[in-house]
Structure 1
Amino acid sequence: MTDLSTMTDLSTKILERQRLIRYRYGGWLIAVLIMIACLLGLDSWLPPPLEKPRQTSVLVLDARDRLLRSFTVAGGLWRLPARVAEVDPLYLRMLLAYEDRRFADHSGLDPLALIRALGQWLWHGRPVSGASTLTMQTARLLEPHPRTLAGKIGEMLRALQLEWRYGKDEILGVYLTLAPYGGNLEGIRAASLAWFGKEPGRLTPAEAALLVVLPQAPSRLRPDRFPERARTARDKVLVRMGRLGVLNAQQVAEARQEPLPTRYRPPPFLAPHLADRLRTARPDTTLHRTDLDRDLQHTLEALARQQQAQLERSASIALLVVENRSRRVLAYLGASDFFDARRSGQIDMVRAIRSPGSALKPLVYGLGFDDLLIHPETLIDDVPSRFAGYTPTNFHHTHAGQVTVREALQQSLNIPAVAVLAQVGPARVASRLREVGLPLHWNAAHPQPGLPLVLGGVGVTLEELVTLYVGFANGGTVAPLRFGPADPQPVGQALLTETACWYLAEILRTAPTPGNVLTPGSVASPHPIAYKTGTSYGFRDAWALGFDADHTVGVWVGQPDGSPSPGHYGRNTAAPLLFRIFDLLPVPTAQVQAPPPGTLLVSRDQLPERLRYFRSAVDTPAKLTNTPPLDITFPVAGSTVELPDRDGTLADLPLVAKGGVKPLRWLVNGQPLNASGWRRDAFWAPDGEGMARITVFDQSGQSADTDVWIRRGQ
């Protein structure tokens, strides 16, 4: 009985103890669960403020992901995004060894460092060393706070939160993006570019040591302002790296001898107009990849700044370089000096609407080839003419007489080009360009462009002209240019046939080279270029466009405000720059393409009758009211003139006219005489005996001619 009672009491006590244990520990468990729930709630309610590392500078990169330009964030800060994989491993080893040796093992707080710091504080009565981990420093960069006990506790909690949410490389990436390096520099990429002029992928030990220590006191340790402080701090890091075995003694000694950077380098600033264009087109994008070649872009920008010294103080230069097959833009220069307000440097002249001068002539001739109106060997007249009330004149106010279409295009004669356009039709030219995505711009008061179109009487942009010439180089197929891999693959549309483009390329490739550039095929200019120049009315725009098998280049020179630049025209101003640019490009493997099948390669005498001569539809020569008729008074028509023989050379033949409107222009056998147009007489030096046709034109469009026989006098 007693045993049974004892056992009952024992069971009762055990049950009571179990209830007590469950009560006590259950309470603790509930408390822990409540605490965890609160922490999770706080973590969800107060997530880490990651807006700052996401608000990085907008970057514009070249085809090899090299930086062309970056834009500042709020506050004028250069904050370039950085990832662990993009940074030199030596720098990372030095950073962790100097700042947080147990970074890979702790969970945001380093207990050993905390115990050491607390002990030193109690022993010395003041803080002696810190216990901040890189995670804690990252938390402080994300959320700056006063250096108080409350601020430090908040920093620790944020560090734990970061470790809970993110991996080590992500936390380190935030630090590498936000760490301050002096001035307006944030992040290791901005610092490396500013202090060393390079990305942080490859750093010397001395460079790495400086970047390790700069964030500790970025303003006080700036090497350009306080070089001795910066050197002392850098060498301190190097010595510690030697003690920790990160560097050997020789590396430490050599690194300490390396000079400090003495100046602050601004971030790269290349292709600024294209960068602005891409940023405006895609404002929510922070990374813009282009197809540009940074080395070529840098060289051409320097070349343009050098060339602008030969221009007016307000003149500028724009250019494009395009790879023909892919239509990728390799270089883009909107102005020769972005920061020069006198030159309106921030206006993108690649997209400015300007008069093309003669740059559209190849298209008009190409359409004439396709319409079987003309052939390169077709004869065409360059004489004073009026077309439906329009009287064009040549650039030099002279006339070449009868020339081939090849010569007319190579010499950029205006009257033959207008004659061809009159039959091709200016409205048709504008329509064909509009169909392939290259609309012309003209005065809204006129519903359609007229014959002046071919001489620059419409508006185009450099981008549109280059697109057109890339089409010539691609057999007549026109498609938009590509500025970056994000642009869609262009779909081409036929503008001309391959045969017409081959004729154009062959004519323009064999055109005389401007006298102030090297001859194509020489050592310095190793390959021929099919090129065309243009000059707008009043010397406002100078153009040069050219292509070879691989590349097309377009150059514009002028004053952005439209002011004239007398003496500067396409041939003497833009063409030399065009040839210099081609000298910087690779020489094509195939320099001259074979003609397409069916191309008519014959001499003029072998042409079909309808292609031997071009008959232009012109009005009768202009007659001014009350203007005396133009006539040749000497030599008399049909006469035979004997000229003295002076040691095998015939004496000069005087030519005399009356009437007409000066200036007068003289032709003999279709060749212009170099004579003053403001006199009514001229002199011609015959090269032998025979018949000569003498022609004179006046300003009003009147003409007179005569045939005479030249005989050697006794």
Structure 2
Amino acid sequence: MKGLSGERGFFWLRIARFFFLLILTGGALLWAANRIWPLPLQELPVARVVTAEDGTPLWRYADAQGVWRYPVKLDQVSPYYLQALLTYEDRWFWDHPGINPLSLLRASWQNIHHDGIVSGGSTLSMQVARLICPHPRTFAGKLRQIARTLQLEWTLSKSQILEIYLNRAPFGGTLQGIAAASWTYLGKPPSELTPGEAALLAVLPQAPSRLRPDRFPERARAARDKVLSRLAEYHVWPQRRVDEIRQESIWLAPRQVPQLAPLLARRLTSHNNRTIVTTTLDANLQRQLEELAAGWKNQLPAKTSVGVIVVESSTMAVKAYLGSVDFKDSSRFGQVDTVSAWRSPGSTLKPFLYGLALDDGLITAESLLQDVPRRFGDYRPGNFDTGFHGPVSASEALVRSLNLPAVQLLDAYGPKRFTANLRNAGIHLRFPANSDPSLAVILGGTGSRLDQLAQAYSALARGGKVARLRFEPQQPLVERRLMSPGAAWIIRRILGGQALPQPDNTLPGTVPLAWKTGTSYGYRDAWAMGVNPGYIIGVWVGRPDATPVAGQFGYATAVPLLNQVNNLLVSSARYSLKMAVSDPRPPSVGIATLCWPGGQPLKAGDTNCRQQRQSWTLDGTLPPTLPAPGQESQAGSLITLWVNSQGQQVAANCPNSHATQVALWPTPLEPWLPPEEHRSQRLPPHDASCPPLGKSAVQPLLLLGIRDNAILKPLPGQRSLSLRIESQGGAGRRWWFLNGEQVENGADNRIFQATLSQPGQYQLSVLDESSQVSTLNFTLD
């Protein structure tokens, strides 16, 4: 008995070893097979989607076959859809090992009984295996599908397998995945599906072409009701809900292919391989802007495009991005992204110069600046309207975008220092190779981009700090200071039409829209930059190939578009919620009364206060009038004179003399001043019995109109040249001499006018009563 028992034990031991070796060998073979024939998940073609912040698809990049997929995770799909899908397709999905033998046997019996394919018996895992590794509908193909299914179950979790189905199931045409179907057919994300919509989409992959709801709504409805019956049969949904859903017709949103913000999509996908790129854009606002652009297109000259960017100033999130007027219009260079293109910024940099000058103590909001003809070496800037306006305040010069006062201010501040401060704040300007910033930078003599300008204007909305634009939600908010909060507040109020100081109790709490225009040389670029209480808006209009467009400038072309975008934001309750931001006056900003021409506060009744101005001030600073180059000793300064009891000028050692001060306007401003403000009227007459020593009060005699040694040519088609030369400074009457011969010049002897037709070299001289002589040489070619 003992021997028999031992033999039996040995037998069972051998059986156990056999099965152990069988399992071990089988496992090794399965492991080897999995390594030799891995799941082709990485070989699946990838489709990419760019979405708005709320998940709305903006633009899609289909795979090589033109199929659109919008990848989603399991928790991004409505529970109603998962309930309908699993109940109808595979009730035992979470429990079976990938294959349901009972379903296979039932399907085989039904197919044999009906002499054809009635039911496939495939589980969701088997359907996923067929999606990632297609096979013929043969017995061998079925075995291959089963093998791949087991491999799936061994390699991936149930949730991963279900996610593959959610993203790869066919829904008709070029749609794959529940998200693509939900957005295309229903215009909503799959997380917001109603029970009826979930039941409809759950059945479509069974016959996506035959059941397409946009083409065969009755078939789709019948298939949906079949799913509802199954849900009621297994008590997944109550019968009452199912009956209510049956009454619903098949409703579909207007089918829309994601075609918003194509140039931003290209910009964000060009440097990464992410399947889903989520932006900060507001899909509704983006759609409205693109609809507006369609209306603008027909009003623009041929080959002209538009760039628009809208930024939420509190977060610096880009909410709308219009890179061109029409992406599909090649005649307007529609695929050129004008938001990121380098262009001349025109006058759009001026607000930052005025703000930095306020911080530097060079000016106040109402400081006197000079809009007069001036030459800086070989550089002779002019105004857009080709005229000059004489004495202007800093706020007026900024609002009217006058060029000469800005150049005067930049000359005092320094062009290299100005561009360095912008660069330090993250605003990079482009200059020719081996070229330093010059005075022309403030008039557009540099390169910038619309997105960088919008970033720069954030300084006016964020208390002087420039913040980097955020195109994606995960990007951090990065900011650097450009100017003080007080300077930014003053500049914003000036640009918003509130340059006149007001007490806090009457000062508006917000600035509706502060804006600045710009026009580049030759009418190539028209700009309009705006800051309202909630958003920064940038607009560019022009030809992407940099061809000039006659009559195109910022105020006429870009400002109307800026106003339309601003009105869209203000009128929409969705966006106007961001407009309630208050803009209180910073403690560093004060109000003062100053006097021109000196720029300082004076006592009431002081005769040197020739014009009184109310001004915003910064940190209580009241700088004197800023002189232009060459005027450092006399621009707006107080000149000390000695006068007698009759008010006549005398020498300091004359009897009964006493010192007095007279404020004089800068000499170049005299042509724009009333006669009583001229130096000849402001300075008291000399006492003949004790005249003042020297002629220190007489200003240098200058000739303006052409530069010395200039070469002049008549206009095309004309044989003569009309010459107009103006004298400034000096004292009394003028005598003019052309090539040494005196020329009679009529009543106004301050201006020389003549018509010259004989080519050659000329010398023009002028003599005044103080014996000063000024000479100008030129050549008529």
Deviation per residue, 1:51-87 (Å, 9 max, x gap): 256x543333333444333322332221222333222
In structure 2, C-alpha distance between the alignment counterparts of 1:61 and 1:369, rounded to whole Å: 43
| SS of residue matched to 2:270 | helix
User: Is 1:622 the equivalent of 2:721?
Assistant: no
The equivalences for 1:342-491 within 5 A come to 342-444=331-433, 447-491=435-479
The answer to whether the Cα contact below 8 Å between 1:627 and 1:660 also exists between their aligned partners in 2 is: yes
Distance 1:590 1:44, change over 3 A: closer
Deviation per residue, 1:595-617 (Å, 9 max, x gap): 44264633436943884533322
User: Is 1:177 the equivalent of 2:167?
Assistant: yes
Q: CA deviation at 1:358?
A: 1.1
User: Is 1:497 the equivalent of 2:484?
Assistant: yes
The equivalences for 1:148-163 within 5 A come to 148-163=138-153
In structure 2, C-alpha distance between the alignment counterparts of 1:397 and 1:200, rounded to whole Å: 61
User: Is 1:604 the equivalent of 2:595?
Assistant: yes
The answer to whether the Cα contact below 8 Å between 1:61 and 1:68 also exists between their aligned partners in 2 is: yes
Q: CA deviation at 1:241?
A: 4.3
Deviation per residue, 1:581-640 (Å, 9 max, x gap): 3331436434433144264633436943884533322785233657644579xxxx99xx
User: Is 1:569 the equivalent of 2:553?
Assistant: yes
The structure showing larger relative contact order (alpha-carbon pairs under 8 Å, at least 6 residues apart) is: 1
- Which one of 64, 84, 98 corresponds to residue 88 of structure 2? 98
Residue number in structure 1 paired with 2:652: none
Residue number in structure 2 paired with 1:668: none
Residue number in structure 1 paired with 2:123: 133
Distance 1:469 1:235, change over 3 A: same
The answer to whether the Cα contact below 8 Å between 1:80 and 1:190 also exists between their aligned partners in 2 is: yes
The answer to whether the Cα contact below 8 Å between 2:170 and 2:205 also exists between their aligned partners in 1 is: yes
Q: Which moved more, 1:19-28 or 1:578-587?
A: 19-28
Deviation per residue, 1:263-314 (Å, 9 max, x gap): 6431x33322222222122x23333333333333232232233333321232
The equivalences for 1:281-360 within 5 A come to 281=271, 283-360=272-349
User: Is 1:190 the equivalent of 2:174?
Assistant: no
In structure 1, C-alpha distance between the alignment counterparts of 2:402 and 2:594, rounded to whole Å: 22
The answer to whether the Cα contact below 8 Å between 1:235 and 1:256 also exists between their aligned partners in 2 is: no
| SS of residue matched to 1:487 | coil
Q: Which moved more, 1:337-346 or 1:621-630?
A: 621-630
Residue number in structure 1 paired with 2:503: none
The answer to whether the Cα contact below 8 Å between 2:704 and 2:725 also exists between their aligned partners in 1 is: no
Residue number in structure 2 paired with 1:509: 496
| SS of residue matched to 1:531 | strand
In structure 1, C-alpha distance between the alignment counterparts of 2:134 and 2:204, rounded to whole Å: 18
Give the percent of matched residue pairs that are identical in Structure 1 and Structure 2: 41
The answer to whether the Cα contact below 8 Å between 1:434 and 1:440 also exists between their aligned partners in 2 is: yes
Distance 1:15 1:431, change over 3 A: closer
Deviation per residue, 1:148-201 (Å, 9 max, x gap): 111111212222332334333222111111111111111110111111111112
Residue number in structure 2 paired with 1:67: 57
The answer to whether the Cα contact below 8 Å between 2:71 and 2:275 also exists between their aligned partners in 1 is: no
Q: Partner amino acid for 2:249?
A: E
Q: Partner amino acid for 2:332?
A: R
The answer to whether the Cα contact below 8 Å between 1:206 and 1:256 also exists between their aligned partners in 2 is: no
| SS of residue matched to 2:99 | coil
The answer to whether the Cα contact below 8 Å between 1:604 and 1:612 also exists between their aligned partners in 2 is: no
In structure 2, C-alpha distance between the alignment counterparts of 1:263 and 1:476, rounded to whole Å: 45
Distance 1:398 1:21, change over 3 A: closer
Deviation per residue, 1:636-679 (Å, 9 max, x gap): x99xxxxxxxxxxxxxxx9x9982689xxxxxxxxxxxxxxxxx
In structure 1, C-alpha distance between the alignment counterparts of 2:253 and 2:367, rounded to whole Å: 68
Q: Partner amino acid for 2:153?
A: E
Q: Which runs of 5+ in 1 are unaligned?
A: 1-9, 513-520, 639-653, 663-699, 702-714
| SS of residue matched to 1:349 | coil
User: Is 1:48 the equivalent of 2:45?
Assistant: no
Residue number in structure 2 paired with 1:115: 105
In structure 2, C-alpha distance between the alignment counterparts of 1:464 and 1:29, rounded to whole Å: 70
In structure 2, C-alpha distance between the alignment counterparts of 1:538 and 1:363, rounded to whole Å: 24
Distance 1:36 1:408, change over 3 A: closer
The answer to whether the Cα contact below 8 Å between 2:67 and 2:175 also exists between their aligned partners in 1 is: yes
Q: Partner amino acid for 2:454?
A: V
User: Is 1:258 the equivalent of 2:245?
Assistant: no
The answer to whether the Cα contact below 8 Å between 1:385 and 1:620 also exists between their aligned partners in 2 is: no
In structure 2, C-alpha distance between the alignment counterparts of 1:504 and 1:154, rounded to whole Å: 73
Q: Which moved more, 1:583-592 or 1:85-94?
A: 583-592
- Which one of 753, 757, 768 corresponds to residue 659 of structure 1? 753
The answer to whether the Cα contact below 8 Å between 1:355 and 1:458 also exists between their aligned partners in 2 is: yes
Q: TM-score, normalised by structure 1?
A: 0.78
In structure 2, C-alpha distance between the alignment counterparts of 1:423 and 1:153, rounded to whole Å: 85
In structure 2, C-alpha distance between the alignment counterparts of 1:28 and 1:528, rounded to whole Å: 83
Q: CA deviation at 1:143?
A: 0.7
| SS of residue matched to 2:190 | coil
| SS of residue matched to 1:478 | strand
Q: Partner amino acid for 1:146?
A: P
In structure 2, C-alpha distance between the alignment counterparts of 1:211 and 1:543, rounded to whole Å: 48
User: Is 1:34 the equivalent of 2:25?
Assistant: yes
In structure 2, C-alpha distance between the alignment counterparts of 1:629 and 1:134, rounded to whole Å: 92
In structure 2, C-alpha distance between the alignment counterparts of 1:466 and 1:28, rounded to whole Å: 74
Query: Alignment RMSD, CA only?
Result: 3.5
Distance 1:620 1:477, change over 3 A: farther
Distance 1:256 1:358, change over 3 A: same
Q: Partner amino acid for 1:27?
A: F
| SS of residue matched to 1:554 | strand
The answer to whether the Cα contact below 8 Å between 1:79 and 1:185 also exists between their aligned partners in 2 is: yes
Q: CA deviation at 1:461?
A: 0.7
In structure 1, C-alpha distance between the alignment counterparts of 2:398 and 2:119, rounded to whole Å: 82
The answer to whether the Cα contact below 8 Å between 1:548 and 1:591 also exists between their aligned partners in 2 is: no
Distance 1:144 1:247, change over 3 A: farther
Residue number in structure 1 paired with 2:625: 613
Q: CA deviation at 1:400?
A: 1.9
Residue number in structure 2 paired with 1:57: 47
The answer to whether the Cα contact below 8 Å between 1:195 and 1:261 also exists between their aligned partners in 2 is: yes
Q: TM-score, normalised by structure 2?
A: 0.72
Q: CA deviation at 1:38?
A: 2.6
In structure 2, C-alpha distance between the alignment counterparts of 1:82 and 1:334, rounded to whole Å: 28
In structure 1, C-alpha distance between the alignment counterparts of 2:178 and 2:238, rounded to whole Å: 21
Residue number in structure 2 paired with 1:279: 269
In structure 2, C-alpha distance between the alignment counterparts of 1:431 and 1:530, rounded to whole Å: 25
Q: CA deviation at 1:110?
A: 1.4
Q: Partner amino acid for 2:125?
A: T
Q: CA deviation at 1:360?
A: 1.4
The equivalences for 1:641-656 within 5 A come to none
Deviation per residue, 1:75-101 (Å, 9 max, x gap): 222122233322222222222222222
The answer to whether the Cα contact below 8 Å between 2:511 and 2:583 also exists between their aligned partners in 1 is: no
| SS of residue matched to 1:604 | strand
In structure 2, C-alpha distance between the alignment counterparts of 1:209 and 1:135, rounded to whole Å: 20
Q: CA deviation at 1:260?
A: 5.2
Q: Which runs of 5+ in 2 are unaligned?
A: 500-506, 570-574, 602-621, 631-701, 713-720, 734-747, 757-776
